[in-house]
Amino acid sequence: MSCTTLLVGKNASNDHSTMIARTDDGFFDEKKMIVVEPARQPRKYKTVQSHLEIELPDTPMRYTACPSVDPKNGIWAATGINAANVGMTATETITSNPRVLAADPLVEYQKAKSRREKDIPGGIGEEDIVVLVLPYIRSAREGVIRLAELLEKYGTYESNGIAFNDENEVWWLETIGGHHWIARRVPDDACVIHPNQFGTDQFDLEDALGAQKAHMCSKDLREFIAKNHLDLNQNGAFNLRDIFGSHTDMDHIYNTPRAWFMGRYLAPYSHRWEGENAEFTPESDNIPWAIVPDRKVAVEDVKYLLSAHYQGTPFNPYTNQDTGRRGMYRSIGINRTGVTSICQIRSDVPEAVKGLEWICFGSTTFSALLPVYTNVPALPKYLSDVSMQVSTENFYWSSRLLGALADPIYSSCVQEIERYQNAIAVKGRRLVVETDEKIANGADATILKEANEQLCQMAKEQTEKALGKVLLDASKHMKNGYNRADN
């Protein structure tokens, strides 16, 4: 799925939390946010896409998930935080190259050609990964280990990147062909930017095959690279992006510009992003995977980046100036996003409230980000009770409606959209501060369910208010309008 991922190490954030965030950019996929209790977790899982059956452990934990409303194509749980305060976002579709895919082919479902033959199941994929991994891990590192075991046993039918975080660590795993993989721990002082490409650049293979302090990989990765002549590096360099990744014309339109914009925002002074002597341009293949930001990063920064459309540059599709380059690159905040989440694991609060998931439905450019406590048995209907019927009674459809109304009249309504987003950000943070204080003072964790209800009620009020104002503005700009002055 063509998504954008941003990862934040604990020393790169303003509050010493770790954050993993991703826009889930399907094709207008209807999404909801739910809690999956252990009793509802399957013990035998069957994939829809690849017809594969997998036995699951009998000890799942509770976890949040953002599945598709229509289950016909599978669960597609996307992202969540479990009862051990471990977050996961899966998956970021990535690129590869023909040499890799020929050496270790993707494991695709093969339908029987006759009645005498049997179907051959495919591997696991984006549809499945959260459900197969998140309920069973107690650290980000354990997430890498469990997913790696599944990849090696069953394979995958697509190339993907998956992130895990706990209170102290953030890990990123990328699949290589059908069965191989690498994983790297995000440096504590860095942010990782990842837009639909194989992204990992520098990698310590000795650590990955030895102590595994900050790197992990398939046990035969060295031999796999050598046997298939995959290493394109020169002069002793070892850059995985040049071994397993792609450098195509499409990358330069669809992928690298997003990395450029995010890097430009995070480190505007440490690197030169524009002008004749720019280190990196929107079409550079060597934009670093991990960047130390010039200032600490807050949730609001993550939301801004995942809502971005090249504002402040000639590529902004909403600019009124005829730059000749308007809209030439794929925006980060795109129209077809189903859900965006920031899984934040905090370290300066009681255990009961360490996990906070910030949720946003629809196009991030126009939608608001709402904090949600994850240590609860169920979520409010405003998040979880979503059907295929359009309705303003839930956050998903209200957000979709707001974006569709606002986009054609962007210059007219952008100020109202900003007011709306800021109102939910401020009021949401205030409710979190108050709830955190109650828990710190000895309140029982059962108050978190009520806190989520208050957060959702606030979001509903603010969203309906914004919808009304934007609807009026859009109505005034209808093409069949006509004003006649009476003399």
Catalytic residue numbers read 3
Cβ pair 311, 265 in contact under 8 A: no
Q: Burial letters for 390-405: b for 16+ Cβ neighbours within 10 Å, e otherwise?
A: eeeebbbbbbbbbbeb
CA distance 215 to 467: 47
CA distance 239 to 270: 22
CA distance 178 to 158: 7
- Beta 87-93 vs 160-165: how paired, if at all? antiparallel
Angle of CA points 8, 24, 427, to nearest 5°: 65
Query: Which amino acid type is present at position 274?
Result: E
φ and ψ of 447, to 5 deg? -70, -15
Which helix (H) or strand (E) covers residue 54, if one does?
A: strand 53-55
Q: The tokens of 177 are what?
A: 């062909």
Q: What is the DSSP string of 160-203?
A: EEEEEE-SS-EEEEEEETTTEEEEEEPPTT-EEEE-SS----B-
Q: The tokens of 313 are what?
A: 């540059």
CA distance 405 to 236: 54
CA distance 16 to 346: 7
**Displacement of CA 438 from its chain's centroid (Å):** 31
CA distance 432 to 434: 5
CA distance 272 to 256: 16
355-361: strand order across its sheet? 290-291, 191-194, 4-8, 18-24, 339-345, 355-361, 370-373
How much helix, strand and coil, in percent to the nearest 5, is found in the chain? 35, 20, 50
Cβ pair 9, 186 in contact under 8 A: yes
Estimate the crossing angle of helix 410-440 against helix 447-476, to 10 degrees.
170
The closest alpha carbon to 151, from 123, 122, 120, 109, belongs to 123
